[in-house]
Structure 1
Amino acid sequence: MSNLYTPYIDVTINAEWSDWENHPQGRPNPIYYERALKWKVDGLVFGFLTLEESSKTPCWAASSAMPLDWAVPLAQELNSAGLRVIISFGGASNSDISTHFNATELEEIYVSTIELYGASGLDFDLENSLYDAAKICLALKNVAIRKPHVAISFTLPTLPTGLNQSGVDILKLAKKEGIEYGVNGMAMDYGDPYNNPDTATDMGKAAVDAALSISRQLAPIYPALNTAELLAKVAITPMIGLNDDGSMFKLDDINTLTRFAQINPLKFIGIWSFNRDNPSGYTYVDLETSSNPEQKVPGEYSELFISGLTAISKSNARPHSGRAYFQLHPGTKNRR
């Protein structure tokens, strides 16, 4: 099993509004397609479709200027290049569409979105309580039947110790509805780094710990799965560079996470965000740069993730690290 690298992108950032002839309503910036090819990502996760309160319709960033089909041009470019397109609903800001639509209506919106974007996956970023998980899962139960090739993932806040109870409850609910899913831990913003020195100084280890903790939380939900199978349901998405809490996911942290993923393949690795994979010396969190002074060129994070996930060497595959990680699930069968 190989690890996929599918960064999140805020499709509304640095949008293209000047191509009146071809895209009079605007579109995501074409530079993101060019960079997806150049940096050799496996695909992009588009964020975020939310509820536009006045019209009560799904829009990007809850803006009526960016309706459901607004980001299709970028999806068409990625699909034409054989890259994956995953559409994410929810996010940290604005209400999810599940707060307005019933389960049947949600099902139709999800299916329409899949068809409109040629999407290979739907993601549900549920982190702000402005969503209805029961309706989402009920809708997805039928979506999975109608579109069995489409992967479903839940993106949830995590600490190195794992998901909060709300996140675990969502996973239990999805399992109850018979949904096959992956769970993506948001390995970021753990808290004041001065009160949490381990995560402040080693965000790579914190991301690995989060993956292991989530797999433990999945164990009672999927008691028949062994350790490797549980980890294969887990994805991890760190916030590259400067985090909102002042911690820093550094370039060296990539090696810690990718070494672990080489030995213990994950569902995918993402980043927040593709837009931010650019250098700057800013001392604040920026939407278009990492604010990490050690980053020197655009795409440096992505290129290091790609090389780390693909360049498997004997030294990286030595079992001592893997053995330590795999001892953390004594109740499961280890088939390595």
Structure 2
Amino acid sequence: MRAAATSILWRDGRRLSPWRLLVALVLASAVGFWGFISVQNWAGASTLENRSPWFAGYVDATATPVFAFEDVEETAARDIVLSFIVADPDEPCTPTWGTAYDLDEAAAELDLDRRLARVEQLGADLSISFGGLLNDELATVCTNPAELVRAYDQVIERYDVSTIDLDIEGENLTDAVAGQRRAEAIATLQERRRAAGDDLAVWLTLPVIPSGLTEDGTTFVQQMIETGVDVAGVNVMTMNYGEAREEGESMADASIRALQATHRQLGIIYELADIELGSATLWRKIGATPMLGQNDVVDEVFTTKDAEELNAWAVETGIGRMSVWSLNRDVQCGPNYVDLSRVSDACSGVPQGDVRFADLLAKGFTGRLDSVAGVVTTPEPRDPSDFIDDPETSPYPIWDEDNAYLAGSKVVWYRNVYEAKWWTRGELPDNPVLNEWEVPWTLIGPVLEGEKPQETPTLPEGAYPEWQGTAVYDKGQRILFDGTPYESKWWNQGDSPEAYAADPDSSPWSPVPLDEVEELAAEWEATGTIADRTSTEGAAESAAEEAD
């Protein structure tokens, strides 16, 4: 654990240089004129994108047997997130450890303060987590705003932390009134501490499924940001997916999908708050917390292979945080623990030998928990020219609100490629909705440097008859239009294939698939002819229509 900055002479355990001290004093002298300019703001000038991502495992402070988080052999002197601070059942504005101990009792009966002092001696950082699934988080039952702020502050001051974690789930999350109360209290506390020159990073830990945060989750994030909380990041519990996980999908793949969906949602939440952030900065504001080994859902097991795959993807992507639930469980169960499908607080329920999940997941996460505590979220306006779609450098047509698009159609919009999930017309590809199922478009990825429009496959003159406006065409007949082969979807006359681009659903023509065109071109080059490929189904239907 590291002391919060309470003096301009010290920061992060290092004495300020004379030059930095002079700058700090000049900034401090400007308080009367500018309102306040804190050392925290000055020190946090470097961007979040450039800070190293960090790993910190959760420790259940009250689980039995007691976990020796202060033992360097158990934690490898890593940062920890100690959980959970919740409300006293009888005194709702009194913070307790899991309802079992108030802060003084924890010091006496768990020797908690002394053990945390040992953690600090080992050079590790500490975060305190409020909430969890089983008990009432403070804001859920403490309805007096001043008392609520005092309760949070009591914990922060007692354990001298500059990063807190709000693990909000279950009924604590579905209570939107409590969520607003929580947001207002944290906003007040963060503003006061920053005004005093102290850091307070606020992480939100929330349940997730592969399609993203729940509606209650996005509501809570919005409450925090709109109330003025500078949210350090959203840490999603990549676990217990249930039926939301696709059949045969690995836990690593389901977790990656969940993180990608959360990234999209978080970007939209900030956009709705008129705070523009770049993709890399948003990734730095996202954390993952898998439940190692056997999850609460019986058929969900997070293996060491899943840990390796999730870690590799997370490091490459640049997410800001990796955690694990929990360090208490990061050991193989002994021979006396028979039912491995029953989740244990003290072992993983999977074979892992001497391998630790924490080691696998922490690989590449070289930063420290408190290293980003002083970063202030700053909008990152981008150059509008970066979003000009040029047909000459776009691999697909640029989206047009007047055009209709069939499922599978790809378009370019604001330098990104989107694919239609179903028929659509006039619906923006980047419509800022929180749930992906609400929009007909899937974001594939950015337009890459050097890309050009895809060439329309053509056939030489004579391969098929040229389209004639006066001719009658039956279903399945093929023609050439500007060298592009089309097939008739139904009987038609006078309908130009050119209309397909604007309204593919209503057009009686559809272009012959690219792979087939390539085969036809090879056939023409080899033989000088193309076999009749009018569909037998189309011919039969046309014959039936003529008979009628």
TM-score by length of 2: 0.51
Distance 2:75 2:205 in 1: 26
In 1, the alpha carbon distance for the partners of 2:98 and 2:255 equals: 27
Corresponding residue number in structure 2 for 1:288: 346
SS in 2 for 1:122: strand
Distance change >3 Å, CA 37–CA 240, structure 1 → 2: closer
1:52-76: per-residue Cα shift (whole Å, max 9, x none)?
A: 212432211112xx11242333322
The answer for the alignment partner of 1:145 in structure 2 is: 191
Identity %: 28
Taking structure 1 as reference, are residues 36 and 49 closer, same or farther at Cα in structure 2, changes over 3 Å only? Answer: farther
1:78-117 to 2 correspondence within 5 Å?
78-101=119-142, 102-117=144-159
Aligned to 1:68: 103
Alignment-mate amino acid for residue 80 of structure 1: Q
Tell me the CA shift for residue 227 of structure 1. Answer: 1.3
- Rounded to whole Å, the distance in 2 between the matches of 1:328 and 1:136 is 39
Distance 1:35 1:51 in 2: 31
Q: Residue 187 of structure 1 aligns with which residue?
A: 238
Looking at structure 1, the residues matched to 227 and 417 of structure 2 have their Cα atoms a distance apart, in angstroms, of 28
Q: Deviations over 1:210-233 (max 9, x none)?
A: 111111001122231121111111
Q: What's the offset of the Cα at 1:328?
A: 8.6
Kept in 2, the 8 Å contact 1:235–1:268? The answer is yes
The CA RMSD over aligned residues, in Å, is 2.6
State the shift of 1:242 in Å.
0.4
CA contact (8 A) 2:75 2:327 kept: no
Within the candidate set 266, 284, 293, 2:319 is matched to: 266
Q: How many residues of Structure 1 are paired with residues of Structure 2 in the alignment?
A: 299
CA shift digits 1:253-298 (9 cap, x unpaired): 12222212222222211111110001026232111000012x112x
Offset, 1:206: 1.6
5+ residue gaps, structure 2, are 1-50, 107-111, 335-339, 367-414, 419-428, 431-444, 448-548
CA contact (8 A) 2:69 2:75 kept: no
- 1:117, distance to aligned residue in structure 2 (A): 0.6
Measure the CA separation in 2 of the matches of 1:59 and 1:233: 28
71, 86, 90: which one pairs with 1:34? 71
Q: What TM-score do the two structures reach when normalised by structure 1?
A: 0.81
Partner of 1:317: none
Gaps (5+ residues) in structure 1? 17-28, 311-325
Q: Which structure is larger by alpha-carbon Rg, 1 or 2?
A: 2
Secondary structure of 2:363's partner?
helix
What whole-Å deviation, never above 9, does each CA across 1:13-55 have from its counterpart, x for those lacking one? 2366xxxxxxxxxxxx4x21114775242x1111111122124
Mapped partners of 1:151, 1:178: distance in 2? 13
1:51 aligns with 2:92: no
Q: Deviations over 1:194-223 (max 9, x none)?
A: x74244xx1112222111111100112223
Partners of 1:126 and 1:300 lie apart in 2 by 27
Separation of aligned partners in 2, 1:238 and 1:47: 16
User: Distance in 2 between the 1:278 and 1:327 partners?
Assistant: 44
What letter matches 1:283 in structure 2?
S
Q: Give the superposition deviation at 1:94.
A: 1.2
Letter in 1 for 2:344: D
CA change 1:333–1:123 in 2 (3 A) is farther
Measure, in 1, the Cα distance between the counterparts of 2:74 and 2:344: 24
Query: Could you tell me how far apart the structure 2 residues matched to 1:220 and 1:144 are?
Result: 24
Q: Structure 1 residues 40 and 3 mapped into 2: Cα distance closer, same or farther (>3 Å)?
A: farther
1:122 aligns with 2:164: yes
Contact 2:417/2:446 (CA < 8 Å) preserved in 1? Answer: no
Q: CA deviation at 1:192?
A: 5.0
Residues 1:238 and 2:290 are matched in the alignment: yes
Matching of residue 208 in structure 1 with residue 256 in structure 2: yes
Give me the whole-angstrom Cα distance separating, in 2, the residues matched to 1:152 and 1:107: 14
Q: Are the counterparts in 1 of residues 322 and 362 from structure 2 also a CA contact under 8 Å?
A: no
Conserved? CA contact 1:33–1:78, under 8 Å: yes
Q: Deviations over 1:130-161 (max 9, x none)?
A: 36111111011111122231210111110011
